């Protein structure tokens, strides 16, 4: 479709800073083809080698804000079925006594509906891509492609399921599955995975010269036990095994020491922070400021809806900022613009989505429209800081992925029956013991 947005404020990312431009943004097919004030249309048409663009829609933004969509850089979308079923427990007990037994009852079709449910929530929060680690990945990919949602997957390979051969098969399959689908090598975590399996993953990293992601130093117990087993932290172990030679990163990265941060900075790795989950499970607060000062790429994830329990990037941005300030006991330690960058371009970098990181001509049209005509966004003393400190899902008027509007004015346009998605999710829960 060809869609013209006009009378818009447009949030542009220049290096790692933001600027607001007033004017128009045009989408041709699945790409942005123009950003400007609209006064040079004849030159634009000449550059596009067409006499005129026939618009499928022309949308008056009414002074509201167009910006890049948020990137949810770590989640387990299918865990929607566990929302509010396993709360108020420490991580190890939560995982081994509550989560794993329930997950053992899942069947492949369940993940189609449970992922679809998560995608609906992502759309309401302005999230245009998810970095998912979960089971039955064929169904995850199918649900996302059927809905038009962008998905990057990685493996949850561990001692309880999966093989290195299956990981390689998925890596090859889902990187050629659909333009909305991609795949990054990975495994669940050091504490759930044998050295033999980790060596297999390291072999694939070397074979394909590919990045790798894993849960890393989420809890003090995890990190201490790794040191007892191997005499080093998880990051140092992965580095020694050659897993980080070609990039990638880790989820959580709470219990990092200086050597861990050195490795991430040296290798150009991405640390994906998950403040809602880490706070709820009392896992700790990641050293965000220290990593930022060392030039580590930072991204934000919601984690799964069993450990969060909502999939809301606005909440996560506020928590990233406030918890970093609390950890260092310094209200000036982290600027809101740095947090907004993490939620957009930083996440895109971690996920390998270089064509979806910002609003520029030639980039994919993954964008959102933010309603500024709401009391929580007024007055506009500082627009970007409003987004981080007072922004809310209620401000998301429109979410577009790959040039297609999937959510607008609280209505979904995903070619699926929304009531059926809700019904299926509840049936899955009712079926379990």
CATH number for the domain whose boundaries are 2-68+358-412 = 2.30.40.10
Rg, the chain, Cα only? 21
Q: Is the pLDDT of residue 60 over 80?
A: yes
Domain range annotation of the chain? 2-68+358-412, 70-355
Q: Is the pLDDT of residue 53 over 90?
A: no
Q: Which residue, among 148, 145, 129, has the nearest Cα to 137 in the 3D structure?
A: 145
Facing residues of 255 across strands?
none
Q: Report the SS3 class of residue 412.
A: strand
Of 43-47, 67-71, 145-149, the range with the lowest mean pLDDT is 43-47
- Predicted TM-score of the model (pTM): 0.96
Question: How much is the pLDDT for 309?
Answer: 93
What is the CATH T-level fold of the domain 70-355, as seen in this structure? TIM Barrel (3.20.20)
**240-290 confidence digits (pLDDT tens):** 999 999 999 999 999 999 999 999 999 999 999 999 999 998 999 999 999
Q: Is the pLDDT of residue 64 over 90?
A: yes
Q: Is the pLDDT of residue 46 over 80?
A: no
**332-388 confidence digits (pLDDT tens):** 999 999 999 999 999 999 999 999 999 999 999 999 999 999 999 999 999 999 999
| Sheet arrangement for strand 181-189 | 70-75, 127-133, 150-154, 181-189, 212-216, 248-252, 270-273, 297-300
In this structure, what is the dihedral angle of CA atoms 304, 407, 404, 46, given to the nearest 10 degrees? -120
State the pLDDT confidence band at 44, using cuts at 50, 70 and 90: confident
**195-216 confidence digits (pLDDT tens):** 999 999 999 999 999 999 999 9
- Answer whether 249's CB lies under 8 Å from 186's CB: no
**76-91 confidence digits (pLDDT tens):** 999 999 998 878 887 7
State the pLDDT confidence band at 109, using cuts at 50, 70 and 90: very high
Query: Mean pLDDT score of the chain, rounded to an integer?
Result: 96
What whole-number distance in Å separates Cα of residue 306 and Cα of residue 278?
Answer: 12
330 φ/ψ angles, rounded to the nearest 5 degrees: -150, 110
Strands annotated E in 55-197? 57-60, 65-68, 70-75, 127-133, 150-154, 181-189
Residue corresponding to tokens 């680690």: 133
Question: How much is the pLDDT for 100?
Answer: 85
**123-166 confidence digits (pLDDT tens):** 999 999 999 999 999 999 999 999 999 999 999 999 999 999 99
Question: How much is the pLDDT for 41?
Answer: 75
């Amino acid at each position: 479709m060809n869609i013209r947005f006009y009378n818009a404020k447009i949030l542009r990312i220049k290096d790692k800073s933001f600027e607001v431009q007033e004017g128009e943004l045009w989408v041709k097919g699945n790409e942005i083809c123009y950003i400007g004030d609209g006064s040079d249309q004849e030159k634009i048409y000449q550059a596009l080698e067409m006499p005129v663009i026939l618009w499928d829609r022309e949308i008056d933004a009414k002074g509201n804000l167009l910006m890049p969509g948020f990137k949810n850089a770590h989640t387990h979308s299918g865990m929607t079925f566990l929302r509010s079923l396993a709360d108020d427990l420490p991580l190890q007990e939560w995982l081994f006594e509550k989560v794993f037994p329930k997950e053992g009852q899942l069947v492949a079709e369940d993940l189609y509906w449970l992922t679809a449910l998560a995608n609906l929530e992502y759309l309401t929060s302005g999230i245009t891509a998810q970095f998912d680690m979960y089971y039955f990945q064929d169904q995850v990919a199918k649900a996302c492609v059927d809905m038009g949602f962008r998905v990057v997957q990685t493996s949850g390979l561990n001692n309880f399921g999966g093989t290195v051969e299956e990981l390689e098969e998925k890596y090859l399959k889902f990187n050629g599955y659909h333009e909305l689908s991609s795949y990054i090598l990975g495994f669940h975590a050091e504490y759930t995975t044998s050295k033999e399996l980790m060596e297999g993953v390291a072999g694939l990293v070397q074979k394909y010269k590919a990045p790798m992601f894993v849960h890393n130093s989420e809890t003090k117990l995890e990190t201490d036990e790794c040191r007892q087993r191997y005499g080093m932290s998880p990051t140092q172990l992965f580095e020694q095994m050659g897993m980080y030679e070609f990039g990638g990163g880790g989820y959580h990265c709470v219990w990092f020491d200086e050597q861990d941060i050195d490795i991430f900075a040296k290798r150009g790795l991405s640390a994906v922070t998950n403040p809602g989950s880490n706070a709820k499970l009392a896992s700790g607060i990641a050293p965000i400021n220290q990593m930022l000062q060392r030039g580590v790429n930072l991204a934000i994830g919601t984690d799964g809806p069993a450990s969060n329990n909502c999939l809301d990037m606005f909440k996560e941005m506020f928590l990233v900022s406030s918890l970093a300030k609390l950890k260092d006991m310094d209200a000036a330690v982290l600027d809101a613009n740095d947090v907004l960058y993490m939620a957009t371009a930083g996440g895109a970098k971690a996920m390998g989505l270089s064509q979806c990181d910002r609003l520029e001509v030639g980039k994919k049209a993954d964008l959102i429209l933010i309603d500024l005509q709401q009391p929580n966004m007024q007055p506009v003393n500082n627009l970007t800081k409003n987004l981080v400190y007072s922004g809310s899902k209620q401000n998301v008027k429109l979410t577009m992925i790959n040039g297609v509007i999937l959510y607008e004015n609280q209505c979904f346009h995903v070619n699926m029956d929304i009531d059926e998605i809700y019904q299926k999710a509840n049936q899955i829960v009712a079926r379990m013991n």
